Structure 1
Amino acid sequence: MNFIGISLNHHTSPLEIREALHLNHDEIINSLNAIKHYLDEPVILSTCNRTEIFGFPNSNSLNNKPIIYELILLKKLNEIKDEYFKTYFSCGAVKHLFSVASGIDSMIIGDSQILGQVKEAFEISSDIGLTGTISQRIFDTAIKVGKRAINETAIGEGAVTVSYAAVQVVEKIFSNLNKKSALVIGAGETGELAAIHLKDRGIKRIAISNRTLERAEKLAEKVHGEIVPFQFLTEHLHDFDIIISATSSNDFILSFDDVKNAIKKRKGSLLVLMDIAVPRDIDPKVRDIENVFYHDMDSLKVIVEQNLQKRKEQIPLIEKMIIEEMTNFFSWYNTLDIVPTIKAIRTFFEEIRNDELQKIKNKISDEDFLKIEDMTRRMVGRLLHNPTIKLREIAEKGFNVNEASSNALVLKQLFNLDKYLDHNTSNHNENK
C-alpha cells in the first residue's frame, strides 16, 4: 500500500518555517486541488505546529518534491530546506497519523485539540470529493485511536501549561468558581489562555487589565469580561477574589503594600494571587500577608512537570493501542484483495463441478445423480477448505500486504480468475 505522509512539524523545523507554511481553510482547498495531480485521496492537516500531507501517489514515483513545491508556490516562499520535511511510507505513514491523532506526537503531549483538527482535515477533502474508501478507513481508525487515547488513558489529564496550572490550583482553593471574580493582568498569549480557562471553568465575573487598552478590549470581548484601566489597577484589586498576572514588565506590577491594602479593604477575605510572568509581576513577599494565597512560576512549573511526566507514562499504553488498530486496519485492507479471490476460486471450481455433473445427468438415475452431486460438493469443499483458511490467515496477519497480494495474484494466474473478479476491487493494490 503506497500510502505516504509528508510532515513538517515541531520536531523537524523552527517556528518561523511552521508559521510560514501554515494553511488556512481556503489555502488547504487550493493546495489539495494542486497536489491531486500527484496524490490520490489527498488530505492536508495544518495547525500551528505542523503542516502534513497524506495520500496515495498516483505514479510509481514516491518523490515528495513536486508536492512540497506546490505548497511553497502557494505561499510565495523561497525554497525551503528538504531537512524540514520528513516523509513516511505505508505502515510508517499510518502509524505516524495515528500517533498525531492520539496526541503523543504533539508539542504538548496529550493535546486535546489535535483530534478535532485531524477530523476536520479529512472532512475538508471529503467535502470536495477527493477522498475514497481506503482514506476513509484510515482516518476513521485514526479518530478511533484518538478517542481511545482520551477515554482509556490519562494522556489528557493534568495541566501542562502554567496558565492552565494556575487555574487548576485556583479551582482547588475555591470549590465553586461560579460565585467568584477574577482579574487577569496582561492580554498576551499567557494571559489570554488564563482568561479563557477561567471562562471555561464558569467564573462568575472576569476583568482584563492591560497597558494597551485595545488588546484588553479584544480579550475582554472574547471572554465576555470587563475592563479595568491599567492606570487605576491598584484601586480595584480588592474587588476580585482571584488575580492572575502575566505581563512582560521588568518591574513589579503589584507591590507588597498594594496587596496589603487590598486585603484590608476585603476585610480579611481570602485573595488568591497567581504570578505567571517572567520576570515576576508581584512582589513575592506578599506570601507573608495573612489570607493571601500566592503562587509564582517556580511552584506552578513543578505542577506542570509532574503532569507532563504522568502524561509521558501513558505513551506506551497508547502505542500499544496504535499497533492494535494498525493490525485491524491492515487485516481489513488485505481482505479487500483476498476475499474476492476466495469467492472467485470457489465459483471457478463450482462451474467445473456443474459442467461435469451435466455430462452424466442423463446417463444415470436421479438417485445416483443426487449421490454424486452431494459427493462432488463435499469434495470441492474439502479441496478448498485448507487454501481458504490459509488465504484468510495471510490476510489477517495485517502488515504483510505484499505476501497477501502475491498469493492472491498467483491464484488468479494459475486458475485464470480474472473473468470472475471485479477489477475495480481486486486490483486496488496496483493503484494504492
Structure 2
Amino acid sequence: MSNYPRLFSPLKVGDLHLSHRVVLAPLTRLRSTQPGDIPNHLNAEYYSQRTSPGALMISEATQISRQGKGYPAAPGIHSAEQVEGWKLVTEAVHAKGGFIFLQLWHVGRASHTSLHPETGLPVSASAIVTADGSKAFTADFQQVPFETPRPLETSELPGIVADYRRAAENAKAAGFDGVEVHSANGYLLDQFLEDKTNHRTDAYGDSIENRARLLFEVVDAVVEVWGKARVGVRLSPYGKFGDMGDSNPVALFSYVLQQLSAREIAYAHLVEPRVGAAGAGAPIDDSQPRTSHIFRKAFAGVLISAGGYTAKTAEETIAESYADAVAFGRLFIANPDLPERFRRNTELNTPDRSSFYGGSEKGYTDYPSLDQSTATLQ
C-alpha cells in the first residue's frame, strides 16, 4: 500500500488512461546530435529509463523552426531527420507502456542570431530586450547579452501559426501521443501574452483578448491536427524567468484558462512561481502565490501542476483538488525510477546541476535506479 494513494490512483487525460499521476516535466537537456538538432539513441535511453507503464511523459522543449531555436543542441521537430530521431524516443517509451507528448517551442526573443543566422535577429511581440541581467546562449555555448529583438509584423503571424501546425504534424509522424503548446517561461507565446513584453497596438496587443490571440490561433491549429483530447498547454502565471511580468496576471491567466477550458483540451499545465528561475538555479521561494490555488476554478479539465514538489506536497495538492497530476523535473533527472521510489518511500538520488545542460551520459543516463543501487550493495 503506497503512502501516497492519490498520487498512485488512475487518471484519464484526454482519451489516455494513466496508471498514476507522477508526470515527467519537460526538461531541456541540450544533448541532440549535431549538426541538425537530431534526437538520438542516448535520448531514447534517457526517456526509456524514466518511463513506467501508463505514465505520462512530456518531452523537453522542441523548436518548431530554426527561428524558434534558443539554445545550442536543443532538439527540433521541423526536419525529416529530426522526425526519424524522435521515433527512437517514442518507440522506446511505448515499449515500456508509457505515453509521451512533444512540447512545441518557439523561444522568441530568448535567442541569439548565431543560432539562426539565416533568419537574423530574434523575434518577439515588441522590441524589448531583457533587463534582468540574464544572458543568451550562442551557437557555441557561450553566454552573451541578449540582443534587442525584432517585433514580428502582423503579416508574419500566420506563418508562425503554420510553423506550429507543421510541427504538430511532424510530432504525429514521429509517433508521439499528443503535443503540449509551450506558452510559459518567457518564450514567444508568453511574450505575446504578458504586457511587460507586448506593447503592440495592432490586433495582437493592448487588451487581454488581443494579447491572447496568437496563443489561441496556435492551439486551434494544433487541435485541428491532433484533436482536442491530445493537446495540452503550459503556462507560467507570475513567472519571472526571461524577465517576464504582467500588470494583472489574475485577469490575464483566468481569461486564458477559461478559453482553453471551453476548447476542452486534454490538460492545462501550470508552473508554480516558487521556481520562477525555471531551472536556472535559484532556491525555491514558498512565499510566492500558488497558481494551482488561484486558477484551479478557471479550468474545468485536467490540471497538471509543476514546480518544487515532493511526493508529500504532491499528494496533498491532489487530495485538496488543486491539481489532478503533478509534474516533476529535477527529482526525475536524478531518479529515473522516481514513481517507484515514491511508491516505496525510499531515498532519492541528489541531482547534479553541473551536468543538467549539454554533455553526454554523465548526469543524464548514469543515475542509478533502485535495482542498480540494490545490486551494488549486494
Say yes or no: TM over 0.5: no
Higher relative CO (Cα under 8 Å, sequence separation at least 6) belongs to 2
Structure number with higher helix proportion: 1
Compare CA radii of gyration and give the structure with the larger one: 1
